[in-house]
Amino acid sequence: MTAFDLNAEHAELRAGVARVCAEFPGSYWRDLDSRRAYPDDFVQALIREGWLAAMIPEEYGGSGLTLTAGAVILEEIHRQGCNAAACHAQMYTMGTVLRHGSAEQKARYLPGIADGSLRLQAFGVTEPTSGTDTLSLKTTARREGDEWVINGQKIWTSRAEHSDLMVLLARTTPREEAKSRTDGLSVFLVDMRGKVGNGIDIRPIRTMMNHATTEVFFDNLRIPADALVGEEGKGFRYILSGMNSERILIAAECIGDAKWFLKKGSDYAKERVVFGAPIGRNQGVQFPLARAHAHMMASEAIVYRAAALYDAGHNPGVEANTAKMLAADASWEAAEACLQTHGGFGFAEEYDVERKFREARLYQVAPISTNLILCYIAEQVLGLPKSYGEGRG
């Protein structure tokens, strides 16, 4: 049996998630989209049913499920026409905390995250001057006695306004003093409660879709020494592991989006009658939907292959990046086919296609662009010369 087969366990997961999503129809999401408002009721419903605690070990109040199960949950949310972007970070940051956090950190925070009294939704890595060149980030953490002092800026830090905790990457050793190119960065689990206006300034960024993203400024933010995750200076390695889970989970969301678009487009093609017949009888309508479906199926296979490797304890960088690229392409192809099938009605808000179309477009760029994934595969798999940054050529 292959990893992406719908066995009984995953069928039950899908049915449970679908029941929650049924409480939040398209009208709910359209209203939030028009106001750029956070889907707090939706997130609370997921917490109530335990879905956001899926990957937290049972000893801390979670379900102790695998990344594969987490991928199924997020995929189903998107398949039902909802949007997990409001809360998916709680799953993909969990890998960093579970694999590298101390026993004390887990005991302090995981029970609250599991029961919903704490939210871990913010992932502070990207900066305005470095972008995806993570090793060039400028946010610093300086040790002073029993504290770390944080200064710098992060951008595209989604959900920071709705999070109590942030997984933060900062430089603890100047780049020129680091033992190697990848040393000198450290990960912190920052408790932001009471810190906004007192070392943290959060500024919302309005975007083409309702994504609750922000830029975050740190001005002599003081956090306790035990906020450090793992070993000082090894944070880049920890973040790469976390990014693998992030890319797999977001790829699963893209698969869910593709399935939503394909059903929406196919249903409309069966119902819409022009020139006395359903438009779905025309190959010009059928073929784009059929091709998008084939590409979705192929992408789905690599997504769950990557998840299975991660669950087995590997760091499947190639598979995770490939899954993200192919799944994002599949969802965008399905979005194009769906919108084209709807014609002018695809641009009408009431059909939800235009909203999902905007949301799907994000993943051609985030959390990593397609071009950088291709660079990664060219260098790491095909052995081609590095085409960007230090050591180019």
* Residue 387 belongs to some domain of the structure: no
Region of residue 61 (left: phi > 0; alpha: psi -120 to 50; beta: else) = left
Return d(Cα 54, Cα 144) in angstroms, integer.
37
Mean pLDDT of 307-322: 95
Reported as a single tens digit per residue, the pLDDT across 224-264 is: 999 999 999 999 999 988 899 999 999 999 999 999 999 99
Q: What is the pLDDT of residue 92?
A: 86
Domain final position from 216, 234, 252: 234
Return d(Cα 338, Cα 349) in angstroms, integer.
14
Q: What is the CATH number of the domain that holds 178?
A: 2.40.110.10
The three-state secondary structure class of 223 is strand
Domain with 325 in it: 237-380
Mean pLDDT of 289-296: 98
Domain final position from 178, 204, 234: 234
How many domains are contained in the chain?
A: 3
Q: Check if 246 is active-site.
A: yes
pTM, rounded to two decimals: 0.95
Based on the fold, state whether residues 101 and 172 are members of the same structural domain. Answer: no
Based on the fold, state whether residues 12 and 69 are members of the same structural domain. Answer: yes
Contact present, 164 and 153 (Cβ < 8 Å):
no
* Residue 244 belongs to some domain of the structure: yes
* Residue 355 belongs to some domain of the structure: yes
DSSP letter (8 states) at residue 161: G
Catalytic residue among 76, 127, 215, 246: 246
Contact present, 385 and 114 (Cβ < 8 Å):
no
Based on the fold, state whether residues 79 and 46 are members of the same structural domain. Answer: yes
Q: What is the CATH number of the domain that holds 30?
A: 1.10.540.10
For 342, the enclosing helix (H) or strand (E) is helix 317-342
Which of the four pLDDT bands, split at 50, 70 and 90, describes residue 29?
very high
Q: What is the CATH number of the domain that holds 341?
A: 1.20.140.10
| First-last CA distance in the chain | 43
Based on the fold, state whether residues 365 and 251 are members of the same structural domain. Answer: yes
Based on the fold, state whether residues 366 and 243 are members of the same structural domain. Answer: yes
Residue with tokens 């987490």: 70
Using the predicted structure, report yes or no on whether residue 339 has a pLDDT greater than 80: yes
